[in-house]
A and B are shown apart, each in its own frame.
Chain A
Amino acid sequence: MTELRFEGVSFVYPDGTRALEGVDLEIPHGQRVAIVGQNGSGKSTLVRHLDGLLRPTEGRVLHDGADIAGRRVAALAATVGIAFQNPDRQIFAGKVRDEVAFGPRILGRDAAQVAAAVTSALEAVGLADDVEANPYDLGYSRRKLLAFASVLAMDTPVLVLDEPTTGQDARGIARVQAVVDDVSGSGRTVIAISHDMRFVAESFERVVVMGVGRVILDGPPTEVFAEAAWPVLGSTYLEPTHAARVGARLGLGSTPTEADLVESLASGTIVRPTG
């Protein structure tokens, strides 16, 4: 169980770029949270504070109420697993099996536990047939799934995915969604950064919207994609889902997903647009 909390966190990169400005955010254990916002709004910077890869310039990051300032990345990595946006920053082993085994091994699991973790993580992302392959013989989308598996294998209470659907085809996205459901179903926290609003609306219960370095909106998809919130989304260059736009145009209220929209159309009375 790990409750995550940001208290007034600001972060300034060495070149002077102010990436975060007084972020307050609390994520209870077991929640599924999507973080969205324009390019450069501080999403990746924010999540790198969760395992100490970056340390706040001001403010505090807490795990279960305790400040993590004094704790090392290696220790925090047992709690928070992060799969980076660019898999090539993460992959280093010559074999898929070794890449995925590294995490659980370094956490001190025994050989049988490591083998089981590798098998189940590779099965979850659909790479079970590639255990003997060299990671760099896999295409970009599969390297991304591999990076994802190597974090999954660590079985951390908190899983963070930075742009997991980037470069994935329809089947790859469905696979990522299934993994999110699985991990969440086992009671763990899943945090994902994404520009894919359909994925966000379908797979997450809470959406945190970032403007430049700040949280500007925070709520369930029905609230965040509701017409009233569109101006705030627009201010960070985001658009509601296609389903949300069609639903609003037809006067059906907030329909963030296509399933919501079809359900609404099938059951409700349609207010015909007048414009």
Chain B
Amino acid sequence: MLKLDGVSYRYAGYATLVLHDIHLTLADGEIVGLVGANESGKSTLCLVACGLAPGSIRGELSGGGLSIDGEPMAGKPLHEFSTRVGIGFQNPATQLSGVTGSVFEEVALGPMNLGLRQRETVERTNEALARLGIEGLAEREPRRLSGGQSQLVVIASLLAMRPSHLVLDEPTAQLDPEGTRLVGEALRGLAASGTAMLIAEHKTDLLDDLCSRVIALDAGRIVADGPAATVLADPKLVGLGVDPPARVRLARALAERGLDPAMAGA
């Protein structure tokens, strides 16, 4: 279980807070979606939830702080975070290590650095590649991959670490529908094995399908928190700059024309 207990955050050198009084609990096996306009604080919340802010990115965290499985994480060195909470950045190019010559080595880098035996590293790497359907990329050079392929490799690297908590900042932004579907399935499988997840996404159709709970942020504050179906159908989302799922949009467009939304199966 990962918990933020009334956390506020300000980046070093900034006058104003980027996050205000965030209360968030990720229960084991739970997938929580995070929506909000650009610059509403989603990425900062991701960085705070995985300990990179203020652990690595300087800033000031106030309030109750971050705890993982009941243990306060304030002041702990970053390596103590790495096995407990994984982070997938928005831009896969920032995440690829740049020190490996093949996709296989890239995905194996994490488990190798955990000090696992070679056999387990290889097994985890193969499994992660297979889950995302990218076994065929194993021998390719990471820096020559397309944007979407890089994104799948980054997610495979995270799966291979088998973290108990996972924070993903727009994990499918550059993926085609098949890649998005495979990532969705892999994340669902991971949740079934107990991993708790926080997923920031603009693709509300994916969140509609994947999440039990959705949180909406506006200017650094949580403005909605509840079951995915309820929050994603909340009329105030549009005003926040969040596009609702297709079924919700369609039902609304039909209602506006005086048609019965049930007719369109929406």
Mark A residues whose CB is within 8 Å of B.
13, 15, 17, 37-40, 44, 85-86, 88-89, 139-142, 163, 166-173, 195, 197-198, 236-239, 241-243, 246, 249-250, 258-259, 261-262, 265-266, 270
Cβ contact of A195, chosen from B38, B175, B265, cutoff 8 A: B175
Q: Does B202 sit at the interface, judged by CB under 8 A?
A: yes
Q: Do the beta carbons of B141 and A15 come within 8 Å of each other? A: yes
B75 neighbours in A (Cβ, 8 Å): none
Interface string of B119-160 (1 = CB under 8 A from A): 000000000000000000000110011111100100000000
- B195-219 vs A, CB cutoff 8 Å, 1 = contact: the mask equals 0000000100100000000000000
Given contacts A141-B38, A270-B263, contact A86 B93 (CB under 8 A): yes
| Chain A residue nearest in CB terms to B245 | A242
Q: List 24 A-B contacts (CB under 8 A).
A: A38-B176, A39-B176, A40-B145, A86-B91, A89-B93, A140-B90, A141-B38, A142-B38, A142-B39, A163-B174, A167-B90, A167-B202, A169-B37, A169-B242, A170-B241, A171-B38, A195-B175, A236-B176, A238-B177, A243-B246, A243-B250, A258-B246, A262-B259, A265-B254
Cα–Cα, bound, A173→B38 (Å): 11
Residues B149 and A40 in contact, CB atoms below 8 Å apart: yes
Instruction: Answer whether residue B236 sits at the interface, using C-beta atoms and an 8 A cutoff.
Output: no
When distances are taken between beta carbons in the complex, the residues of chain B under 8 Å from A237 are 176-179
Contacts of B144 in A (CB 8 A): 13, 15, 17
Q: Write the chain A residue with the least CB distance to B237.
A: A170
B176 interface neighbour in A86, A195, A261, A265, Cβ under 8 Å = A195
Closest residue of B by beta carbon distance from A89: B93
A140 touches B91 (CB 8 A): yes
Decide: B264 and A265 in contact? CB cutoff 8 A: yes
CA distance A258 to B261 in the complex (A): 13
Least CB distance from B102 to A in Å reads 10
> Given the complex of chains A and B, what is the CA–CA distance between A139 and B200 in angstroms?
15
CB distance from B91 to the nearest CB of A (A): 6
Complex Cα spacing A236 to B177, Å: 10
Closest to B93 in A: A86
In the bound complex, what is the Cα–Cα distance between A40 and B134 (angstroms)? Answer: 11
Assess the B147–A85 pair: CB atoms within 8 A: yes
Known contacts A166-B173, A171-B37, A195-B176: A139-B43 contact under CB 8 Å: yes
Contacts of B249 in A (CB 8 A): 258
- Cβ of B253 under 8 Å from chain A: yes
Contact B241 A266 (CB under 8 A): no
Residue of B nearest to A37 (CB): B176
B11-62, CB < 8 A from A: 36-39, 43
Q: Which of B38, B140, B173, B178 meets A38, CB within 8 Å?
A: B178
B233-266 contacts to A, CB under 8 A, are: 238, 241-243, 246-247, 249-250, 253-254, 257, 259, 263-266
Residues of A within 8 A of B173 (CB): 166-167
B148 touches A139 (CB 8 A): no
Q: How far is the CB of B8 from chain A (nearest CB, A)?
A: 19
Report if B170 contacts A (CB, 8 A).
yes
Chain B nearest Cβ from A28, distance in angstroms: 27
Q: How far is the CA of A239 from the CA of B36 in the complex (A)?
A: 26
Q: Are B241 and A171 in contact (CB under 8 A)?
A: yes
Q: Are A249 and B176 in contact (CB under 8 A)?
A: no
Question: In the complex, A31 Cα to B144 Cα: how many Å?
Answer: 31
**Chain B residues with CB under 8 A of A249:** 265
